[in-house]
Homo-oligomer: A and B are copies of this chain.
Amino acid sequence: MKKRVAVLRGDGIGKEVTDAATAVLESIGRRFHHEFEWVYGLLGGEAIDQAGQPLPDETIKICEASDAILLGAVGGPAWDNNPSHLRPERGLLQIRKHFELSVNLRPVQAFKSLLAVSPLKEEVAEGVDMMIVRELTGGLYFGEPSFHDEEKAVDSLVYTREEIERVVIHAFELAKLRRNKVASVDKANVLESSKLWRKVVEEVALKYPEVEYEHMLVDAAAMKLITYPAAFDVIVTENMFGDILSDEASVITGSLGMLPSASLRSDGFGMYEPVHGSAPDIAGQNKANPLGAILSAAMMLRSSLGMIEEAKAVEEAVETVLENGYCTTEFINIGRNVLSTTEMTEKIVAEI
């Protein structure tokens, strides 16, 4: 197959890890006889500097003409004092909205060989294998009215049935491919939007009798993610709760640097990026962990490019390299073989 991928390397270590991901995809191309065409575009801080806006029109065009988007990370202290329309993360919000990337997937998995770096006791973090499904284009992030002046501020948490249904169905479909369990997280004892959310979940659930589901309040979920994270299979929730809970979940296994994510449109088009940020402190030093970006590329193969075997090949290569005792600098204290970004990438390529 021939596929065109928009590559938005972004800022800081975003560049290094995206290069790692495309290198790995090249090796997948060689092994499985695919051809990838990379089209590079600007997003975030560098886009502000070079094109005067965080999401330039040129980037939108590039993405529209592609089969998927691969993203590094955006942001950095250089732009921290910019006005809000010139902030790197603004570009992220705009690209999600423009391409209707309404379903955000964040798998969190404990790698047994790395449990020593988890802030949780090993027996608590062990066996964690969850998929957080976050609604990404609704709720407080985009609701109107939304303004502030010197005396007052208003944000609006707005959801339509359709927006809720879309992401909830996605969650139940995923559960069928996993352990058949969904925890729907809301705040139905306080929020009207959560009451509609709960209703829709119950309706959708009727169509999935094989999937066991429960409603969980967001405060209870924030606790259980720490006390008993291995109990979760699929978590589905609205945009703001998903932002908080997915970041909370991202640190429980200690392997933030290897977590991937996908942001999907209903037709399968999507944007793929590691969960970590642009890490300006180590940018350009060939120290970043490329596995988050590489596993994001695997998600892209599976979800947007229809290359299931290829996705598995990438994931297996990552597992093998970890099992062989290799890691990047953040794991230096647990007595493993520390590699640079490019060395790690070469190890993965060699496995493929």
Contacts and interface: CB of A to CB of B under 8 A. Distances in A.
A28 B248 CA distance: 41
A339 interface: no
Given A119-B121, A195-B148, A243-B218, A190 B153 contact: no
A93 B243 CA distance: 25
A147 B192 contact: yes
Interface stretch (A1-9, A19-27, A43-51, A155-163): A155-163
Contacts of A150: 161, 196
Most chain B CB neighbours (cut-off 10 Å) among A124, A191, A223, A244: A244
A87 interface: yes
Interface string A216-243: 0011101101110000000000001101
A159 B191 CA distance: 16
Given A119-B120, A140-B191, A190-B140, A153 B196 contact: yes
A212 interface: no
Interface in A239-267: 240-241, 243-248, 250-252
Interface string A177-212: 000000000010111110111000000000000000
A40 interface: no
B219 A243 contact: yes
**Of residues A124, A146, A223, A226, which shows the largest number of chain B Cβ atoms within 10 Å of its Cβ?**
A226
Given A89-B189, A147-B192, 13 more contacts: A84-B195, A119-B226, A120-B121, A146-B192, A151-B161, A152-B158, A154-B156, A156-B156, A187-B240, A219-B244, A222-B222, A223-B251, A226-B251
30 contacts: A87-B189, A93-B190, A119-B120, A119-B121, A119-B124, A120-B226, A121-B121, A146-B192, A148-B196, A152-B158, A152-B161, A153-B159, A153-B193, A154-B157, A154-B192, A155-B192, A155-B193, A156-B156, A157-B157, A219-B244, A219-B247, A222-B247, A223-B247, A223-B248, A223-B250, A223-B251, A226-B248, A226-B251, A241-B244, A244-B244
Interface of A: 84, 87, 89, 93, 118-121, 124, 140-141, 143, 146-161, 187, 189-193, 195-197, 218-220, 222-223, 225-227, 240-241, 243-248, 250-252
